[in-house]
């Protein structure tokens, strides 16, 4: 079975074959990936995937209502958790972004409606042959980054936004040689 060239082990295979690039419309899962993609900034996705269950436990099952009420002692607790990325700025950004996420939900009714608006509510179907040809940012991810920063989100530059777009299926960046490319296009 031919997969995207970045897939290197069982963790990647499971994620690639079942989640990556699948159009996602569940607000809670969108928030989860917003956290994970922000945490990935400057790191490999494999590190994040390997720590995903620890993140889930540390951040109250990615509950934005609970996370938005975290205080200084919660930041200290998270900084001592060896199962997650212990970067104070990233941890504080998760708390901040939970608050911003809830504000967006209030304004747009769902985070899904807001985030999918950057691609006119339809997956952008790319046709790349090589992983090296896939951009790290796009005009849509730049627009998303500008808007999210204006709303107060942190750790949400154009590159993080593009990774988030790939993760949640706003773009289909499975290589055309990958078995998932056509499957995703047909969803």
pLDDT (mean) for 125-153: 98
pLDDT at 64: 98
Q: Closest Cα to residue 76, out of 63, 95, 62?
A: 95
Kindly list the domain boundaries of the chain, sorted by start residue: 10-185
What is the average pLDDT value for the chain, to the nearest integer? 97
Average pLDDT of 164-176?
Answer: 98
Residue-level pLDDT at 67: 98
Residue 40's φ and ψ, nearest 5 degrees, are: -70, -25
Given this model, what pLDDT does residue 2 score? 96
| Rounded-to-integer distance, Cα 34 and Cα 110, Å | 14
The lowest-confidence range among 39-43, 92-96, 110-114, 170-174 is 39-43
User: Rounded to whole angstroms, how far apart are CA atoms 66 and 102?
Assistant: 11
| Residue 118 contacts residue 138 (beta carbons within 8 Å) | no
Tell whether the torsion through CA atoms of 148, 150, 153 and 158 is positive or negative: positive
CATH class entry, domain 10-185: mainly alpha
What's the confidence (pLDDT) of residue 158?
98
Phi, psi of 125 (to 5 degrees): -95, 100
Task: Tell me the pLDDT tens digit for each residue of 76-106.
Answer: 999 999 999 999 999 999 999 999 999 999 9
Q: What is the pLDDT of residues 17-65, one digit of tens each?
A: 999 999 999 999 999 999 999 999 989 999 999 999 999 999 999 999 9
pLDDT of res. 15 = 97
pLDDT more than 70, % of the chain? 100
Please give the Cα distance from 31 to 65 (Å, whole number). 11
């Amino acid at each position: 079975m031919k997969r995207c060239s970045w897939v290197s082990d069982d963790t990647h295979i499971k994620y690639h074959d079942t989640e990556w690039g699948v159009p996602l419309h569940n607000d809670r899962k969108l928030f989860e990936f917003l956290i994970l993609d922000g945490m990935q900034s400057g790191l490999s996705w494999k590190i994040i995937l390997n720590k995903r269950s620890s993140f889930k436990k540390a951040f109250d099952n990615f509950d934005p209502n609970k996370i938005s009420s975290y205080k200084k002692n919660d930041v200290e607790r998270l900084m001592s958790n060896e199962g997650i990325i212990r970067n104070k700025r990233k941890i504080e950004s998760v708390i901040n972004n939970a608050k911003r996420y809830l504000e967006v939900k209030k304004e747009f009714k769902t985070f899904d409606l807001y985030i999918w608006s950057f691609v006119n509510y339809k997956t952008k179907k790319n046709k790349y042959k090589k992983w090296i040809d896939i951009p790290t940012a796009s005009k849509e991810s730049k627009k998303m980054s500008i808007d999210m920063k204006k709303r107060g989100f942190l750790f949400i530059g154009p590159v993080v936004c593009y990774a988030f777009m790939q993760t949640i299926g706003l773009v289909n960046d499975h290589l055309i040689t990958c078995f998932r490319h056509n499957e995703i296009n047909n969803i």
